[in-house]
Chains A and B, each alone.
Chain A
Amino acid sequence: MYFVALTRSNVNPALVFEYLFQKIRILKAYLGEEFDENSMRNNMTLIYELMDETMDFGYPQNCAVDVLRLYINLGNIRQQDEPDTSKLTSQITGAIDWRREGIRHKRNEVYIDVLESINLLMSSTGDVLRNEVTAQVQMNTKLTGMPECKFGLNDKLVIEKETNQNRKPGVEIDDCTFHRCVRLGKFDADRTITFIPPDGEFELMRYRVTDNINLPFRIIPAVREMKEQNR
């Protein structure tokens, strides 16, 4: 299946791609991970409605699944409590559209998953040709209210600023991207990661490291081709 976007003006291609990826994510949330042409055909009205909400006059609008679920309730999506209409307006137009107010959890829990993927290319003489780690930090938050979170990694630039000398040296993180809930201004100023998290699962950040990588496995191959002439 292909997702195609058309534009009449010279728009930022990153915007178009981001919108398409968000759109796929929303469709997955509504139609299930493995949606196909049939499920799209059967849910045409739902998809029209989602289109209407996520795009206005060619400008991407609200693409947060949690928020869309509040007022688009077709298909097999779980029925939520009927929201107060006055709250709904402030939700859509407010600054924090990825989290609705008044979320309650009995137990407040946060799960953090750091998933790293290591790439290595080693030559036959044992030289490292390419070595990098790309990683993502996944979070699952079950928090009450509108909590303010502060997240810290052993980032070299942060550790060096701290006066405590007996800490282990930090890791040089090459480049990172964040979920849009993270305050980028604050990160640019002093590299602290602060945010009001969305409820449930989301990807907080991605980063890349290219220096000082601990290889989990060392592999030493020896290949010998025996020349064994017939005569």
Chain B
Amino acid sequence: MSRRYFEICISSCVGWKAWTHFMPCHRRVSINLKIIAQFAATLFATNVVVKIPVPKNTAKTKIKTSFGRAKYEPEQQAIIWRVKRFPGKSECMLGADIDLMPTVRNKGWVKPPINVEFQVPMFTSSGVNVRFLRVFDKSGYTTSRWVRYITKAGGYQIRI
């Protein structure tokens, strides 16, 4: 006898009151997310991907974003929000209403953290910059130099 069947058997013996205990209690989840770019307004971030975890038994999602594209991806159990170009000193909102499928047992939702990926060209989050590069050679030529900076997200996670 499977465990689930067993539980239903018990609950039907004990009566309706016990049965309601197994009824789902969280039917909807709403997530609001605000993301603020804190780097200079002259810069912009590219390929921003925000991965917002949703419960396993998600049935339907309704997502509103101020810019970028957001989509529920069932195979990742997450809402994936992509912004190609995120200007500095700007902020962006995402609101999602999630309808859950009813489940017999309420397992609870183990919330993994929100994961963010991005790249910000010409920005260093540590504040490091190259002050100089001097080249000395016997022949005494002049050198052209170019410096590029880029900050990428390694593990950028926010627990919810």
Question: What number of A residues sit within 8 Å (CB to CB) of B?
Answer: 57
Q: Once the chains bind, are A153 and B143 in contact (CB under 8 Å)?
A: no
Q: Once the chains bind, are A218 and B135 in contact (CB under 8 Å)?
A: no
The residue in A110, A112, A116, A229 that gathers the most chain B C-beta atoms within 10 A of its C-beta is A116
Q: Once the chains bind, are B145 and A218 in contact (CB under 8 Å)?
A: no
Chain B interface: which size bin? 35 or more
CA distance A145 to B149 in the complex (A): 28
Partner of B35, one of A112, A143, A219: A219
Residue of B whose beta carbon sits closest to that of A146 = B137
Report the minimal beta-carbon distance from B103 to chain A, rounded to whole angstroms.
12
Q: Once the chains bind, are A225 and B109 in contact (CB under 8 Å)?
A: yes
Which residues of chain B are near A229, meaning CB under 8 Å?
A: 23, 25
Which residues of chain B are near A217, meaning CB under 8 Å?
A: 35-38, 45, 48, 116, 118, 156
Which residues of chain A are near B35, meaning CB under 8 Å?
A: 217-220
Partner of B38, one of A117, A215, A224: A215
CA distance A120 to B157 in the complex (A): 6
Task: Offer 27 A-B interface pairs, CB within 8 angstroms, sorted by A.
Answer: A110-B133, A114-B124, A116-B124, A116-B125, A118-B153, A118-B156, A121-B159, A124-B158, A145-B137, A146-B137, A148-B136, A149-B133, A149-B136, A151-B133, A171-B126, A213-B125, A214-B125, A216-B39, A216-B125, A218-B36, A219-B116, A220-B34, A220-B35, A221-B31, A221-B33, A226-B26, A227-B25
A residues whose Cβ falls under 8 Å from a Cβ of B: 107-124, 133-135, 143-154, 171, 173, 207, 209, 212-231
